[in-house]
Amino acid sequence: MISPPDLQIWQDSVNGINDSGKTDLFKEEWSALLVLNESLSSGNFQSDESRMSFTTINECFSMHRNNPALQAHLKNYIDLCFKYGAKLQRLDTPQSSTEPVADPSNGEGTPQANESVALKKLDIKLLIAIILATLVLGMVVFFVIKSGILPGEQTTETGKFTQNFFEINIHDGAKYSDHIDYIKFMDKAYRYNDGKIKIKLSKVPAEKLEPVVSSNSIFKGVGSSDLKANYLLIPTISVFKNGKRAGEIVASNRDKINSNKDIAMMMIMYVDRNCKLKGSFSGIIVNCSLKKGWNRVFFSGSRQEINFKEMTSTQPNGLEWTVKMEELSMSN
């Protein structure tokens, strides 16, 4: 149970977050706070939902640098959750809102005493189960990748891409850092990190999918080897500054001036089952083999006409991630 002094800290933190975070908090953070409030009330942080909610609040902390009051209340809230949830993993949070957030990957910022307490309380049986599950999962992933069931890494130009994550590596990304706070993919926010971003991929809910074969589909005229296949197509990734959309990240070769080569662009597509797409829509010839889950699809066409003519699952050469800033474009 929460002690009376901590109960007051909890209440003050919740009230402060509600007052100062009305316009700044993401909807994922509000949902996470509801779960964590229940966990603090019951003292039970063992559920996956509690741990995932704590991770969400922790990861989004640094995105509120422009709201010191909100950061102060969030820090008190995070400290309280960490105190009563010994198995929770904490990122390093700043002591002052004026200090930059430390990179959680560098191992700094977590007090050694807290680590010691957490390790002492770790259930041995759970630890053994985690180790065994990790070994089995590693063997399965090795077999799956080696057998070609999952799409492998095709080139280093656009970074690694698997069913669990993909990487964005913008070669001149640092020059946009003052103009970008974070990016969003599937309603989840990620630090811009000078253009070096790793995005987690997960199953897409059915309500966000559309049927490939449908009179209302953008792929009208395209046939599918599985008529029940549903999809989600993501052309670009939005970037944000001060909570407002400021531009997008695109993987293409449009910035490479070479009139002898076609234009090409990569999009990210999710399908809920293996399928092959063939046909045409809006003058674009389609020939794609897609695996269940996340895929990269590639559009290409004439540079002179600035128009796509083909959609395939084979990656062309010369693609790279670039930033298109709306404000910067308007000022040029």
Q: What is the pLDDT of residues 237-263, one digit of tens each?
A: 999 999 999 999 999 887 654 545 678
pTM of the model: 0.52
pLDDT band (50, 70, 90) for residue 303: low
pLDDT band (50, 70, 90) for residue 31: confident
- Position 277 scores a pLDDT of 95
Burial class (CB in 10 A: 0-12, 13-18, 19+), 83: middle
Q: Where are the domains of the chain?
A: 4-121, 153-331
| 331 pLDDT above the threshold of 80 | no
| 274 pLDDT above the threshold of 80 | yes
**In the chain, what percentage of residues exceed pLDDT 90?**
31
Q: Which has the higher per-residue pLDDT, 253 or 273?
A: 273
User: The tokens of 108 are what?
Assistant: 């700094």
SS3 15: helix
Q: Which span out of 125-129, 259-263, 292-296 was modeled with the highest average pLDDT?
A: 292-296
User: The tokens of 4 are what?
Assistant: 């009376």
Contacts of 71 (CB under 8 A, 6+ apart): 61, 64, 65, 94, 97
SS3 111: coil
